[in-house]
């Protein structure tokens, strides 16, 4: 069935299904990818998945002093935010690849959840 201005509805539905399958695959792949970010010159390292889940936090023993708690807290927050930001960028790049040619290139278009 052809709809004026939209073309073949079956073709559109097939493209939508293909995009949905690609997006599901990308989500699986993102869960398996890890990124590590650091702060304090490597004194705090945070590892996250491509789906923004924290896997690990490593802290240099020099920071584990009662007098340095505020510095440690700040470095942890900085490393976590950096790792999550990198993870979000990775997710957006992978989703862009998965939807290439299917979704129009609309500036500012984001996929919910990514």
Query: Is residue 68 in a domain?
Result: yes
- What gap in Å lies between CA 30 and CA 86, rounded to an integer? 12
Give the pLDDT confidence of 23-81 residue by residue, as tens digits: 888 888 888 899 999 999 999 999 999 888 999 999 998 888 888 888 899 999 999 99
| 97/91 Cα distance (integer angstroms) | 10
- pTM for the whole structure: 0.65
Identify whether 81 is part of a domain: yes
Q: What is the DSSP letter of 94?
A: H
Task: Give the whole-angstrom CA distance, residue 98 versus residue 114.
Answer: 13
What 8-state DSSP symbol labels residue 15?
H
Residue 103, in any domain of the structure: no
Which of 106, 109, 94, 112 has its CA nearest to residue 22?
A: 94
Tens-digit pLDDT profile for residues 74-114: 999 999 999 999 999 998 888 888 777 665 555 565 555 54
Q: What is the domain range of residue 46?
A: 2-98
67 belongs to a structural domain: yes
> Domain total for the chain?
1
Domain contains 73: yes
Picking from 74, 114, 83, 80, the residue whose alpha carbon sits closest to that of residue 98 is 114
CATH number for 28 = 3.30.1310.10
């Amino acid at each position: 069935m052809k709809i004026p201005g939209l073309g073949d509805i079956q073709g559109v539905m097939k493209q939508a299904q293909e995009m949905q399958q690609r997006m599901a695959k990308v989500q699986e792949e993102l869960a398996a990818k890890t990124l590590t970010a650091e702060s304090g010159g490597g004194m705090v390292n945070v590892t996250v998945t491509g789906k923004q889940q924290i896997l690990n936090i490593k802290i240099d023993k020099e920071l584990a002093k009662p007098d340095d708690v505020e510095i440690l807290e700040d470095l942890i927050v900085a490393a976590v935010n950096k790792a999550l930001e990198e993870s979000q960028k990775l997710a957006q790049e992978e989703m862009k690849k998965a939807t290439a040619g299917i979704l129009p290139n609309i500036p500012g278009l984001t996929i919910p959840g990514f």
